[in-house]
Amino acid sequence: MPIRVAVDAMGGDHAPEVVVKGAISAVAKSSDVEVVLFGPQTTIAPLLDKWSEGETRKPTIVDSPDVIGMADPPAVALKTKKESSIHKGLIACKSGDADAFISAGNTGAAMAAALFLLGRQSGVKRPTLVGYFPTLRGHCILLDAGANVDCKPSHLVQFAQMGSIYAARAMHRENPTVALMNIGEEPGKGNAQAKAAYKLLCKAPYINFVGNIEGRDMLTHAADVVVADGYVGNVLLKFGESVASVIPKMVGAEMMSLKMSQEEQAIVIRALRGVRSRFDYQEYGGAPLLGVDGTVIIGHGGSNEQAVENMIFNAVEMVREDVSGSISAALSG
CA-to-CA separations, 89 to 2, 40, 80, 156, 173, in angstroms, rounded: 17, 12, 16, 29, 30
Q: Which helix (H) or strand (E) element contains residue 62?
A: strand 60-63
DSSP track, 221-277: TS-SEEE--HHHHHHHHHHHHHHHHHHHHHHHHHHHHTT--HHHHHHHHHHHHHHHH
Same fold, 3-124+291-331 and 131-283: yes
Under CATH, which architecture does the 3-124+291-331 domain have? 3-Layer(aba) Sandwich (3.40)
CA-to-CA separations, 98 to 6, 82, 92, 122, 312, in angstroms, rounded: 6, 18, 5, 21, 12
Given this model, what pLDDT does residue 126 score? Answer: 94
- Mean pLDDT for 152-159 is 96
Give the integer Cα–Cα distance in Å for 60 and 47. Answer: 12
Lowest mean pLDDT among 42-56, 84-98, 153-167, 201-215: 42-56
Question: pLDDT band for position 153 (50/70/90)?
Answer: very high
Question: pLDDT band for position 185 (50/70/90)?
Answer: very high
Q: For residues 278-310, b (16+ Cβ closer than 10 Å) or e, as one string?
A: bbebbebbbbbbbbbbbbbbbbbeebbbbbbbb
Report the chain's terminal Cα–Cα distance, integer Å.
Answer: 31
Given this model, what pLDDT does residue 161 score? Answer: 97
47 vs 302, more confident? 47
Domain locations in the chain as residue ranges: 3-124+291-331, 131-283
At 51-94, the pLDDT tens digits run 988 778 999 999 999 999 888 888 888 889 999 999 999 999 99
At 262-282, the pLDDT tens digits run 889 888 888 888 777 777 666
pLDDT of residue 111 exceeding 90: yes
pTM of the full structure = 0.91
Supply the mean pLDDT for the chain: 92
HEC states along 110-159?
HHHHHHHHHCECCCCCCCEECEEEEECCEEEEEECCCCCCCCCHHHHHHH
Q: Which helix (H) or strand (E) element contains residue 290?
A: strand 287-290
- CATH fold of 131-283: Isopropylmalate Dehydrogenase (3.40.718)
At 238-262, the pLDDT tens digits run 888 888 778 888 988 998 899 899 8
Given this model, what pLDDT does residue 282 score? Answer: 66
202 vs 283, more confident? 202
- Is 142 within 8 Å of 226 (Cβ atoms)? yes
- Mean pLDDT for 38-51 is 95
Given this model, what pLDDT does residue 273 score? Answer: 80
At 287-322, the pLDDT tens digits run 999 999 999 999 988 889 999 999 999 999 999 999
Residues near 139 by Cβ (< 8 Å), separated by ≥ 6? 132, 133, 171, 284
Give the integer Cα–Cα distance in Å for 144 and 166. Answer: 13
Given this model, what pLDDT does residue 280 score? Answer: 66
Amino acid identity, residue 208? N
Phi, psi of 285 (to 5 degrees): 75, 35
